[in-house]
Amino acid sequence: MDIGKKLEAIERDYLEIEKKMADPAVTSDLKELQSLGKKHAQLEPVVEKFRHYRQVCQDATEARELLKSGDLEMTALAAEEIGKLEPQIGGFEDELRLLLLPQDPNDGKSVIVEIRAGTGGDEAALFASELYRMYNRFCERQRWRLEVLDVNETGIGGYKEVIFRIDGEGAYSKLKFESGVHRVQRVPVTEASGRIHTSAATVAVLPEADDVEVEIRPEDLKIDTYRSSGAGGQHVNMTDSAVRITHLPTGIVVTCQDERSQIKNRARAMTYLKTKLYDAELQKQTAEQASERRGQIGSGDRSERVRTYNYPQNRITDHRVNVTLYKLDTYLDGDLYELIDAMTLADQTERLRTLET
C-alpha cells in the first residue's frame, strides 16, 4: 500500500470513529466513548496533516494546468505559485512519513523510574540522588506529578536506591531513552587528594501497566507490613505503614513506605508490582527480538552505558547518538530537552530506514 492509500484509509477510520462517537448508544457507554476518543486523538494529527497536504497538491495541480493556458501573465503567476508549493509538498511528505511510523503503545503512559547506585560507593549514591533531583526538576518543567514509592538513603544524603512514579501524559515517550548506566566523572567531596573518580548509577524507566494488561491472583501474593525506616518523622516510624508485596510465581518483591497510610502504600505497591510484571514481559519480548533491534536506538538493554556526566568540563555525552553538550549544569537542573530531541530523532531516523528497506 502506497502512502496515499494508507492515508486515505486512516482518514476513513477517523471519520468512522467520529460517526460512532455521535451515536447515542455509544455516548451512554463512558468506557467505549473514552476508548474511541483516545483513538480519535491519535489519528487527528495525521488526518489534519494529510488534508493540508492534499490541498497543497491540488493547488499545485491547478497551477500546472495554468502553465498550458498560453497567457504569459498567467503562466508567470502559475510558475511562481508552483515554486512556492513544491517545497511544501516535500515537507508534508516527510512529516507524514514520520506520523505513519508505528507508534509505541506505551508512549502515552505514566512511568515508574528506578535509580540505583552502582560502582563507586558513597559517591555513586550521591550521584543517584542528583539524578533523582534532575528528573524531579524536569517534571516541574513539564508540570508532571512525581510521587516517591520507596527510598533507601545513605548517611551523607545519597540514595542507594530511589523508586518513584511520574504521572504525566506522554511521560514514557520522553523518558524511555533514559534507561541504562549513567556514569559520572568528578572529584568526590570525600576525596582529599583532588583526584577525579568515575562512579555510576543505573536508571530503569518502566511504562505503567493498565489493569487490563496484568492480571494478578490474590493467592499469588505474600503481603507484609513493617515500620518505615525512611525519613518522615515519628508518625512514619512508629506505625506499621510500610508495605512489602512478594509475587510468589516470579519472586518479584516491591515495597512502598512513603505514605503514612498503609492502605495508600498498599495501593501504590500494587501499581508498582503490576508495572514490574508488565515490564518483565516487555523485556522478554525485547530479548526475543534482539537480533532485529540490534541497530536501533534505545534497545532497552539496561546494562548499556548510555551517558557520561563530566563535572570538571561541564560536559554531558550520550554515547548512543554521539552527542556532547557543554552545559551539564543546566541539564542537571532539569533541562533535558536537547538530548531527548536528539534521541527521538535518531530513533525515528532508524525506524524510517528499517521501514524503507
- Is the confidence at residue 340, as pLDDT, over 60? yes
pLDDT in tens, 299-322: 445 568 899 999 999 999 999 999
pLDDT computed for residue 190 by the predictor: 66
pLDDT in tens, 207-216: 998 766 788 8
pTM of the model: 0.72
Q: Which of the four pLDDT bands, split at 50, 70 and 90, describes residue 289?
A: low
pLDDT computed for residue 286 by the predictor: 67
Q: Do the two domains 3-99 and 214-286 of this chain adopt the same fold?
A: no
pLDDT computed for residue 300 by the predictor: 47
pLDDT computed for residue 128 by the predictor: 96
pLDDT computed for residue 236 by the predictor: 45
Share of the chain above pLDDT 70, in %: 89
Question: How would CATH label the architecture of 111-212+302-356?
Answer: 2-Layer Sandwich (3.30)
How high is the mean pLDDT of the chain?
86
- Residue range 214-286 forms a domain whose CATH class is alpha beta
Average of per-residue pLDDT across 276-295: 68
- Is the confidence at residue 338, as pLDDT, over 50? yes
More confident residue, 20 or 259: 20
pLDDT computed for residue 172 by the predictor: 95
Show me where the domains of the chain are located: 3-99, 111-212+302-356, 214-286
Q: Which of the four pLDDT bands, split at 50, 70 and 90, describes residue 291?
A: very low
Q: Nearest-CA neighbor of 174 among 48, 347, 352? A: 347
Average of per-residue pLDDT across 74-80: 89
- Is the confidence at residue 244, as pLDDT, over 90? yes
Average of per-residue pLDDT across 325-332: 96
CATH 1.20.58, applies to 3-99? yes
- Is the confidence at residue 232, as pLDDT, over 70? no
Virtual torsion, Cα 153, 159, 160, 162, nearest 10 deg: 100
pLDDT in tens, 44-60: 989 999 999 999 999 99
